[in-house]
Amino acid sequence: MQMRGTMEKVVRRSLVWKNIGAPKWIFILYLAVKGRLATKDRLAKWGIIHSQTCPLCQQANEELDHIFFRCTYAAEVWNNILNWQGIRRKSMNWTAEIQWVIKFMKGKSSTTLVYRMAMASTVYRLDGMQ
């Protein structure tokens, strides 16, 4: 008899918990993965702010999918990070990036460790610019 029951394995946990980045990067990445960042669209729903325009591109409302990595500025930053790592593909939306990480960045190789750390630092920096 199991006291706890069966729990579904969360496959994206390695992105956050097996990350060698700075703790503050990992915390912001954790909030982003859980959809808990205080983006302008969430703040507007709470009645805290009124303008939801992205401060980086001034072209769309700031929401999780936009700031990571649909914003033209954020997409350019992320594409440069991907090229630096030797990954030859363009940036995708937030959900697609997370799915790509889950599929291709498993294990403990140096490539996966650097990718996870780079993603955490990029998310941290882009969130700090908002």
Contact 79, 91 (CB under 8 A): yes
Rg for the chain, CA atoms, rounded: 16
For the stretch 29-73, pLDDT in tens is 999 988 899 889 889 999 998 899 999 899 999 998 898 888 999
Residue 103 domain flag? no
Domains in the chain, number: 1
Residues for the chain: how many in total? 130
For the stretch 69-128, pLDDT in tens is 889 999 999 999 999 999 999 889 998 998 898 888 888 888 988 998 999 999 999 988
HEC assignment per residue over 80-127: HHHHHCCCCCCCCCHHHHHHHHHHHCCCCCHHHHHHHHHHHHHHHHHH
Residue 107 domain flag? no
Residue 41 domain flag? yes
Q: Does the reported pTM lie above 0.95?
A: no
Residue 52 domain flag? yes
Domain that holds residue 88: 36-98
